[in-house]
Amino acid sequence: MSGDPWITVVGAVAAVCTTVAFVPQIVRIRRQGGRDLSYGMLLLYLAGVLLWLGYGLLIGARAVILANVAATLLVSLTLVLKWLSGRSSTKSTAAGPSRRVRIAIDMDEVIADSFGKHLRIYNQTFGQSLTRSDVIGCSLSASVPSSQSEATRQIVRAPGFFADLDEIDGGREVVRQLAERYEVFIASAAMEVPNSFADKYAWLQERFPFIDPSHIVFCGDKAILDVDYLIDDTARHFDRFRGTPILFDAPHNRSETRFRRVEGWDEVAKMFLTTPLPEGRPALATKPELPEALLDMP
């Protein structure tokens, strides 16, 4: 039966299919890169076709030899293309996108003194005289008698609470200078008090007019921020943040030791603004050119 023509046809079609199977893969690598292909599979496949080639040579089977020579060339080409696409993507990743360093800055307790107002209203409401040093390591509502906790929490939810906050000392000028050199975003977890949006936006427009509205982010989870640095007083916002966290000192976070802490805006200025931009340098400041002070960060 081995001499039947249909058997020869089946064998020929099978050889063509297995031999040219890598052509669609090569086309795909050219278009999309070879990241999804396994080197292990390709090398094993190459070893297989080489053994088939050796087998064909040993028994003098011309069809087996031709089919596996072609397959060897195609698999080898696939390997080379995968390697080249991997190299080019590594190079582009190392070079990094040509954009300015991005810094996200929190509002409450970083540029806006919401805690000072919260404490003041609490003292007025309950006839107390608590100071910042009485509220170390926890929130105000956790520091007061439990019978006052809920009312204390509700203070910040009152309409207009965020409309007239004092500024944190030095914040406006340092942020203005940062915005000249870096791409600065103001990022507030405003979802915690949804009715604060309008007040916070108006406050920023009045006090920080140099921050474009497109760079104001009201969000729930700051892990969504695609920035290089996040300056924030609340450590939980760093949990899944992918950039470098900078903890802005506040009474409630004094026991937090996991992150680089800054005591105030003077320290932020020393970190980001002490290295002058070389004359004639473009406004772009890519990450490797950051001030040396940042390299000492733990």
Catalytic residues: 106, 108
Q: Give the list of residues 6+ apart from residue 11 with CB closer than 8 angstroms, or none.
A: 63
In the complex, the smallest distance separating the C-beta of residue 222 from Mg ion, rounded to whole angstroms, is 10
Site mask for Mg ion (CB under 5 A), range 259-288, x = bound: ------------------------------
In the complex, the smallest distance separating the C-beta of residue 150 from Mg ion, rounded to whole angstroms, is 21
Closest of 167, 169, 184, 166 to residue 273, by C-alpha? 184
> What residue type is 35 in one-letter code?
R
CB 185 within 8 A of CB 217: yes
Which of positions 92-151 make contact with Mg ion (CB under 5 A)? Answer: 106, 108-109
From the list 33-41, 233-241, 277-285, 290-298, the region that binds Mg ion by CB under 5 A is 233-241
Q: Which of 233, 244, 259, 290 binds Mg ion (CB under 5 A)?
A: 233
Task: CB nearer to Mg ion: give 260 or 287.
Answer: 260
In the complex, the smallest distance separating the C-beta of residue 188 from Mg ion, rounded to whole angstroms, is 7
Q: How far apart are CA 98 and CA 46, in angstroms?
A: 40
From the list 72-80, 131-139, 161-169, 229-237, the region that binds Mg ion by CB under 5 A is 229-237
Site mask for Mg ion (CB under 5 A), range 16-55, x = bound: ----------------------------------------
Task: CB nearer to Mg ion: give 188 or 244.
Answer: 188
From the list 4-12, 115-123, 194-202, 231-239, the region that binds Mg ion by CB under 5 A is 231-239
Task: CB nearer to Mg ion: give 181 or 200.
Answer: 200
In the complex, the smallest distance separating the C-beta of residue 116 from Mg ion, rounded to whole angstroms, is 13
In the complex, the smallest distance separating the C-beta of residue 125 from Mg ion, rounded to whole angstroms, is 22
Q: DSSP letters along the chain, please?
A: -TT-HHHHHHHHHHHHHHHHTHHHHHHHHHHH-STTS-HHHHHHHHHHHHHHHHHHHHHT-HHHHHHHHHHHHHHHHHHHHHHHHHHHHHHHHHH--S---EEEE-SBTTTB-HHHHHHHHHHHHHT----GGGS-SS-HHHHS-HHHHHHHHHHTTSTTTTTTPPBPTTHHHHHHHHHHHSEEEEEE-GGGSGGGHHHHHHHHHHH-TTS-GGGEEE-S-GGG---SEEEES-GGGGTT--SEEEEEP-GGGTT--SSEEE-SHHHHHHHHHSSPPPTT--S---GGGS-HHHHT--
Q: Which residue is nearest to Mg ion (CB)?
A: 108
In the complex, the smallest distance separating the C-beta of residue 140 from Mg ion, rounded to whole angstroms, is 13
Task: CB nearer to Mg ion: give 74 or 112.
Answer: 112
Closest of 28, 8, 10, 6 to residue 18, by C-alpha? 10
Task: CB nearer to Mg ion: give 113 or 233.
Answer: 233
From the list 66-74, 127-135, 191-199, 228-236, the region that binds Mg ion by CB under 5 A is 228-236
Q: Count of residues binding Mg ion (CB under 5 A)? A: 4
**Is residue 199 a contact point for Mg ion (CB under 5 A)?**
no
Task: CB nearer to Mg ion: give 22 or 115.
Answer: 115
Binding site for Mg ion (CB under 5 A): 106, 108-109, 233
